[in-house]
Chains A and B, each alone.
Chain A
C-alpha cells in the first residue's frame, strides 16, 4: 500500500514538474533544477554543508581573481575582493542562524569557513611570507633549521627566539619533509586554524549547551579585526591562541562536572596545551592566566565551587618560571610599549597630545567614506548588542562564572576601542581584540539567540542577520589590516619561463651568495627583514642604536661614524624608496609607472648618495632602488667571508 502511494506521489511530482517545464522559462527551469539538486544534497546530518561549501569555494575563486587583478593594477579588483569575501561568509552565516541545522552540519560549515578564510590569507601571499612579523619568524625558523638548536640571537625582535613554539613545529615539519619554511609554516598554521575553530565551537557549546548558539558565536568571533590576516600570519600568536582556546575548553568542560578519569584526562590535556602556550607566545599566556584567575575570583565571589585552582596555579607558575628563567628579555620588550601607551593616554586626557585619526594609516592614507562607515557600523552593532546581552547574562546566567568573565571581556573590548584614538596605544587595543572578542562573540550570540531569534525565523530576520554579519565581518577586515596591502601588489613577475622577484629579495639572495652569512648590516625596515630571511644576515634597523638617524643623515660626520662603530655594521643598505620603511608595502615590486619614479616617494639624493662622497667606502651593489655600501674601512669591521 505504502509502495503504491509512493509511486503515485512520484508520478504526481513528475506531472507537476512536466507542467512547470512547459510553462516556465529556461532560466526558471535552471533555477528549479539547481534547487532540486541542492535539496537532494541534504543528507540527514550534513544538511546544506556540501552545497554551501561549494558556494563558499566559488567565493574563494572570486577572491583569487580579485588578487590576480590587484597584482595587475586592475581597478575592479577591490570590488571583486569584497564580493568574493561575502560569497564565502554570508551563505554559511545565514545557514548557521537557522534552527534546523544539525550539530554536525554547523561544525562542518564552521570548519570550512575558518579554513576558507585562512585560504584568503594564503592566496594573498601564495609564494612567500610577506607580512612584517612573518619575515622575522621565518628568519628565526631558518636559524633553527640550520643550527638545530633553539634560542639563537634574532635581531630586530630578540624576544621571539625565547618563544619558539611555532618555529619548532614548523622546522620539525620542514626537516621531516624537505619543504621550505613557507610551505611547512602554511601547513602548520592550517592545522592551528582547525584547532581554533573546533575549540571555539566546543567552548561556546559547553558554556551555552546549544550547538546553534556555539555556531553563531564562533561565526561572530571570525568578525574580529585580527581573524583574517593578523591571526593567520606566520607569527607566534597564530599557534598560541588556538591552543589557548583549547585549554579554556578543557577546563570549562572539566568545570561542568565530569567523572574522575575524564576529569584527570582533561586536566592533563589542559596542562600539556598550556605549557605549549607558555613557550609559544607571551601575551597569549598572560591572557590565559588572567582568564583562569578571573573565573576563580568570580567563582569565589559567587560562592560557586570551582576546580580551576590547579590549572590556574600551574599557569601562573609556568608563566613566571618561563619569564624569569628563560625569557626575561620579554620585560624589556613589552615594558616600553606599555609605558608609552600609559604615558600617551595620560597626555591625551590632559590635552597635551592630539588624538589619532581613525582610519588613517601611518603613511597618511585615509580610508574611503564607505569603509569608515562600515568600520564604525561594525563597532556600533557590537555596542548595541552589549547592554541587552549583559542584562540577559545577569538575569539568566549570573550563576555561571565563565559566562560572567566572557561578558566582562566583551565590556573590556568596548573600552579597548577607545585605545584606537591613542597614537601610542592603538596597537595594544588592536592586539587585544583577538582575546577580548571571545567575550564579544559570546554576548553577541546571546543577543542573537536568546533575544532576537530564539525560534524559527523568517527571511526578513535572516536578511537582517546577514546584513549585520556582513557589516561586522567587513568592519573587522577594514579595521584589521592596512588598506595599502589589503589586496596584494605584485610580488613575483613572470617573464616567459622566468619568475622575477622584487629588488630587495634579489639583493638579499646576492648578499647571502657573495658576502656570506651573518654580516652586520644597517638597513630600512623592509630590507632588514629580507636580509634576515633570504640573506641570512644580521640586520639592524629602526631607531634603535641610531640606525635610522644614520641612514637619513645627509652626511657622514662624526655622529654617523660613531653609530657605525657602536653597531659594528659592515654593510649599509640604502633603498632610495621611502616605501621601504613601510613594513607592509615595502617588500613588493614598484607598480609600473605609479610608485617608482615619483620624487616625493624617494629619499633626498643628498641622503642616499652620501656614502659615494666618502673616499673609503665601496659601493659594492647597485640595482637601481637599492645600493649596498661596504663601510668596513670606516669602522674596521671584517666581513664574515
Chain B
C-alpha cells in the first residue's frame, strides 16, 4: 500500500536532511555548502518540528513559513547551549549531527502523529504566479542583486588617501642583536621610498630606493653587530622619494623594552 503524499513529504524532509549533512561533511566548495546549509539549518529543523507539533491544515503557508524559519533559528540558538557542554563544542561536525538528528527525530514524531489522524492532507497548492509575474519577479531579483553588486564596488582612488605602514620588532628567534623591519604600502599608486636604520644617529643600514606597488610588502631580518646595538635604541625612518626631506614614517625599538 502506497503512503499518503504528506507522509512521503515528511520522509523526504528527513532524507534531505541526512543527505545534506553527509554532503556538508564532504564537499569543500563554499557556494555549494551555502546552498546546502540554507535549508539544512534555516528551514528543515523548524519545518519538521512544525509538522510534528501542529495538526494538519491548522496553518496556512505564511504561518508555516514563519514557524519553520523561526523554530529553525531557535533550535540552533538553543542547540548551541547543549553543544557548549559537550566535549565536542560548537564545530561543523557537531552542528551537522545535531541539526540532522533534530530534523529526523521531529520527522519521526510527525509521522507517528499523522498516522493517528484519518484525513489525508491536501496536495500543496502551487504559487499561482503567471508567466509574466514570474518574469517580473525574476527581473526584480536580478535588479536587487545588481544593486548589491554595485554597492560592493570599491571606492575610486580619488575618494581617499593612501598610506604606508612602517614597523620594527625584535627578532622572533630571540636573538637580541637582530630585528625585523617591514614596509607595507597601501598607497594608491606605485611609490618609491628610502629607508634608513640608525643607532644613536649613526646610519647602520640604508635602502636608497624601495619601489612598492599598492598592497606590496617588504620585510627584512637585520643582524646588528652587538657593538653597534649597544646603545639600546634603533630608529628606522622611511622617506618618500617625491618628498625626500620629510620623514614619512618612523619607528623606534628600545632594547630595554623586553621584559
The answer to whether B136 has its CB under 8 Å from any CB of chain A is yes
Interface string of B14-46 (1 = CB under 8 A from A): 000000000010001010011001101110000
Let me know if B259 is at the binding interface, CB within 8 A: yes
A107 within 8 A of B: yes
| A592, B257: Cβ atoms closer than 8 Å | no
* B-side contacts of A151, CB under 8 Å: 84
Bound Cα distance A162, B90 (Å) = 16
- Give Cα distance in the complex from A620 to B234, angstroms: 11
Task: Please pick, from B37, B84, B158, the residue contacting A173 in the complex, using a CB distance under 8 A.
Answer: B37
Q: Which residues in window 549-601 of A have CB below 8 A to B? A: 589-593, 596
Stretch of B2-10, B137-145, B192-200 at the chain-chain interface? B137-145
A359 to B134, CA, bound (A): 44
- What does DSSP make chain A's interface, helix, strand, loop or mixed? helix
Nearest residue in A to B40 (C-beta to C-beta)?
A176
B55 lies within 8 A of A261 (CB): yes
Residues of A within 8 A of B254 (CB): 615-618, 633
Stretch of A190-198, A287-295, A388-396 at the chain-chain interface: A190-198
Contact B256 A616 (CB under 8 A): yes
B201 on the interface (CB 8 Å rule)?
no
CB pair B250–A622 under 8 Å, yes or no, is yes
A625 at the interface (CB under 8 A from B): yes
- Distance in angstroms between the alpha carbons of A493 and B157 in the assembled complex: 6
**Of B37, B54, B88, B167, the contact of A510 (CB 8 Å cutoff):** B167
Cβ distance B156 to chain A, nearest Cβ, rounded Å: 6
- Say whether A68 contacts B150, CB under 8 Å: yes
- Using Cβ atoms and an 8 Å threshold, which residues of chain B touch A622? 165-167, 249-251
Least CB distance, A469 to chain B, in whole angstroms: 21
Which residues of A are found within 8 Å of B215, using beta-carbon distances? 495, 498, 500
* Residue from A53, A67, A498, A621 within 8 A of B166 (CB atoms): A621
* Pairwise interchain contact B259-A43, C-beta atoms closer than 8 A: no
Question: Cβ of B123 < 8 Å from any Cβ of A?
Answer: no
A57 pairs with B141, CB closer than 8 A = yes
Once bound together, how far apart are the Cα atoms of A17 and B133, in whole Å? 23
CA distance A243 to B74 in the complex (A): 8
Report the interface size for chain B: residues with CB under 8 A from the other chain. Answer: 100
| A150 and B70 contacting across the interface, CB-CB below 8 Å | no
Give complex CA distance A58, B253 in Å.
56
> When chains A and B are docked, how far (Å) is the Cα of A187 from the Cα of B161?
33
B69 contacts across to A, CB distance below 8 A: 191, 194-195
Whether B96 is near chain A, meaning CB under 8 Å from some CB there, is yes
Of the candidate stretches A227-235, A274-282, A307-315, A436-444, the one touching chain B is: A274-282
CB <8 Å contact, A61 and B143 = yes
Contacts of B12 in A (CB 8 A): none
Find chain B residues with CB under 8 A from A171 CB: 80, 90
Contacts of A638 in B (CB 8 A): 259
Say whether, besides A72-B155, A262-B54, A265-B55, A179 and B30 are in contact (CB < 8 Å): yes
> Residues of A contacting B202 with CB < 8 Å?
none
- Report whether B144 and A591 are in contact in the complex, using a CB–CB cutoff of 8 Å: no
Given contacts A268-B53, A621-B167, A633-B256, contact A191 B147 (CB under 8 A): no
- Check if B169 is an interface residue, CB within 8 A of chain A: yes
Chain A residues near B141 (CB-CB < 8 A): 57
Closest B residue by C-beta to A246: B70
Give Cα distance in the complex from A160 to B215, angstroms: 35
Supposing A275-B74, A490-B159 touch, asked if A122 and B133 sit within 8 A by C-beta, the answer is no
B112 sits at the interface (CB 8 A): no
Q: What chain A residues lie within 8 Å of B24 (beta carbons)?
A: 176
Inter-chain contact B139/A54, CB cutoff 8 Å: yes
Q: Is the CB of A623 within 8 A of B163?
A: yes
**In the assembled complex, how far is the CB of residue B203 from the closest CB belonging to chain A, in whole angstroms?**
19
Shortest C-beta distance, B197 to chain A (Å), equals 14
Question: Given the interface contacts A58-B143, A119-B148, A493-B188, does A591 sit within 8 Å of B159 by beta carbon?
Answer: yes
Structural contact, B40 and A619, CB atoms closer than 8 A: no
Interface contact A592-B133, CB-CB below 8 Å: no
Indicate if B108 sits at the interface (CB-CB under 8 A).
no
User: B233 to nearest A CB, angstroms?
Assistant: 8
* B-chain residues with CB within 8 Å of residue A127 when the two chains form the complex: 152
The answer to whether A500 touches B162, judged by C-beta atoms less than 8 angstroms apart, is yes
Q: Which of B71, B153, B249 contacts A623 (CB 8 A)?
A: B249
A172 contacts chain B at the CB level, 8 A cutoff:
yes
Bound complex: CA of A592 vs CA of B156, how far in Å?
11
Q: Are A57 and B140 in contact (CB under 8 A)?
A: yes
The reply to whether the CB of A98 lies closer than 8 angstroms to some CB of chain B is no
Using Cβ atoms and an 8 Å threshold, which residues of chain A touch B229? none
- With beta carbons under 8 angstroms apart, the residue of A40, A144, A493 that contacts B132 is A40
Whether B164 pairs with A624 at a CB distance below 8 angstroms is yes
The 10 tightest CB contacts between A and B, nearest first, are A148-B89, A168-B80, A494-B154, A123-B151, A490-B155, A50-B136, A498-B215, A57-B143, A589-B160, A71-B155
**Contacts beyond the supplied A495-B188, A632-B258, A632-B259: 7 A-B pairs with Cβ under 8 Å:** A44-B128, A168-B81, A243-B73, A276-B74, A276-B77, A493-B160, A498-B215
* B contacts, CB < 8 Å to A: 24, 28, 30, 33-34, 37-38, 40-42, 49-50, 53-55, 58, 62-63, 65-67, 69-81, 84, 88-92, 95-96, 128-130, 132-137, 139-141, 143-144, 146-148, 150-169, 172, 180, 184, 186-189, 213-215, 248-254, 256-259
Q: List 7 A-B contacts (CB under 8 A).
A: A41-B130, A122-B151, A172-B41, A172-B76, A191-B73, A192-B73, A494-B156
